[in-house]
Amino acid sequence: MNNLIQKYNIPGPRYTSYPTVPFWDNDDFTKQGWIETFQRSFDESNAEEGISIYIHLPYCESLCTFCACNKRITKQHSVEVPYIDTVLKEWKLYVDLFSSRPKIKEIHLGGGTPTFFSPENLKKLIDGIFEYADVAEGHEFSLEGHPNNTTREHLQALYDLGFRRISYGVQDYDLKVQEAINRVQPFENVKRATEEAREIGFTSISHDLIFGLPHQTMEGMMETINLTKELNPDRISFYSYAHVPWIKGVGQRGFHDDDLPSPELKRALYEEGKKMFEEMNYFEVGMDHFALEQDSMYQSMKNHTLHRNFMGYSSSKTQLMVGLGVSSISDSWYSFAQNEKTVEEYEKSINNGELSVFKGHILSEEDLIMRRHILNLMCNLETSWADDNMKFDDVDRIKTMLQDMVDDNLIEFVENGLIVKEEGRPYVRNVCMTFDKRMIDNEPETRIFSMTI
């Protein structure tokens, strides 16, 4: 195991998109090109499956030093209404470009801290969205909640608006770890927030845990998982900490690199965690996720309908995802577009009556082929090129690049495709990298990704 970790622990993308953001071709991207592709995608898919909306709510009252998300730290809640008003203006700009009334299949509130916003203002936001839209059949509305400030009033208001899934950022219960990442939240707070969500009627409650944080030990991780067991969440996200302090504004210098677990210990934390989750009757889904048998994410994995995009794994798919709010990324399948990264620039463009898009990528035919393969691997741990136009030299290159993983019994090639074995699941990002033509053709000169393991 240690030899494999040393061999395959290299910087690599997490593949919530392909191409990944650092390799977008911004020179050929135009706002008009983005509009044409999302209109095409909307016309192709809205009637049958609806669309997804991701809303970025960037405000937090304090900085968690492990977090690489776009956030704005403030205790001034007067920012809530102006920001929500701007998001609703942005939504209306999109609505005016649609050919018919949108049907919304998924909404996800991310951040930042969505529960920074008051229940009343969250209701104003969602009601404003549905002033111009209908609810799609089989919809799933979800949010990220902070256990310290998610109140019963938050949960009831969102439940009444159709939300049934909530994800709580737990990370770790060890106080030393919590202090290092500036995220101190007692078990009692998580217990209260979890039980209140269950009492109100939320049907899928997820806890996010992270391995590889500063000062983590095997004993501490096992205690965190045992406490998690007491609350029996429907899903558990077990993320590898992405240490990327070179990214401006991340704030990951609240501890020293020497405080981080070694790659060997980090992998051991994952393996022991996985073993404990399996003993608790959780099933591994895709990469980093575990779910109980009755949860929709596990069922979607069994049915091969699991999907992955900038919101992470989803139990249902929509072709079009509209990102609203500062720094949000939209996905039309044929292209990506990202909003301005500062609240001021974002609000300026929207208040001028323009979409806030400032960069993006129009996918080529080759991009679309490779995107499908990477999505298949990330969701189903297998892919086939029998029915697409992947060139023979691409297949030969991929086979050559993956020969070591065949020899290490991590993957196997089948007729016109490949399968990632259970032993290879921890290395699925490495497999995807061999399909990543954009990265291979434009090898970065400096490190831009976290380690794969």
Listed in sequence order, the residues at least 6 apart from 144 whose beta carbon sits closer than 8 Å to its beta carbon are: 109, 110, 111, 113, 114, 166, 167, 168, 169
Among candidate residues 93, 129, 53, the one with its CA nearest the CA of residue 318: 53
pLDDT class for 246, splitting at 50, 70, 90? very low
Residues making up the annotated binding site for S-adenosyl-L-methionine are 54, 66-68, 111-113, 144, 171, 183, 208, 242, 329
The whole-chain average pLDDT of the chain stands at 92
Q: What percent of the chain has pLDDT over 70?
A: 95
Among candidate residues 449, 9, 65, the one with its CA nearest the CA of residue 256: 65
pLDDT class for 445, splitting at 50, 70, 90? low
The pLDDT tens digits of the residues spanning 165-201 come to 999 999 999 999 999 999 999 999 999 999 999 999 9
Enter the DSSP assignment of 299.
Answer: H
pLDDT at 446: 55
pLDDT at 356: 97
pLDDT class for 334, splitting at 50, 70, 90? very high
- CATH no. of 365-442: 1.10.10.920
pTM attached to this predicted model: 0.92
The reply to whether 365-442 shares the fold of 17-362 is: no
Residues making up the annotated binding site for [4Fe-4S] cluster are 60, 64, 67
Residues making up the annotated binding site are 54, 60, 64, 66-68, 111-113, 144, 171, 183, 208, 242, 329
HSE, side-chain direction, 13 A CA sphere, residue 160: 12
Enumerate the domain spans of the chain.
Answer: 17-362, 365-442
The pLDDT tens digits of the residues spanning 275-330 come to 999 999 999 998 889 999 999 999 998 888 899 988 788 888 899 999 999 999 99
Q: Which residues pair with 357 in a beta bridge?
A: 339
Among candidate residues 400, 401, 452, the one with its CA nearest the CA of residue 428: 452
pLDDT at 278: 95
Instruction: Tell me which amino acid residue 332 is.
Output: S
The pLDDT tens digits of the residues spanning 95-142 come to 999 999 999 999 999 999 999 999 999 999 999 999 999 999 999 999
The CA distances from residue 422 to 56, 284, 286, 377, in Å, are 35, 10, 11, 13
pLDDT at 240: 87
Q: What is the mean pLDDT of residues 48-74?
A: 92
Query: Is pLDDT at 214 greater than 60 in this prediction?
Result: yes
| Number of residues that this document lists for the chain | 453
The pLDDT tens digits of the residues spanning 376-415 come to 999 999 999 988 878 878 999 999 999 999 999 999 999 9
pLDDT at 249: 47
Instruction: Tell me which architecture the domain covering 17-362 has in CATH.
Output: Alpha-Beta Horseshoe (3.80)
Do the bridges between strand 51-57 and strand 103-111 make them parallel or antiparallel, or are there none, so unpaired?
parallel
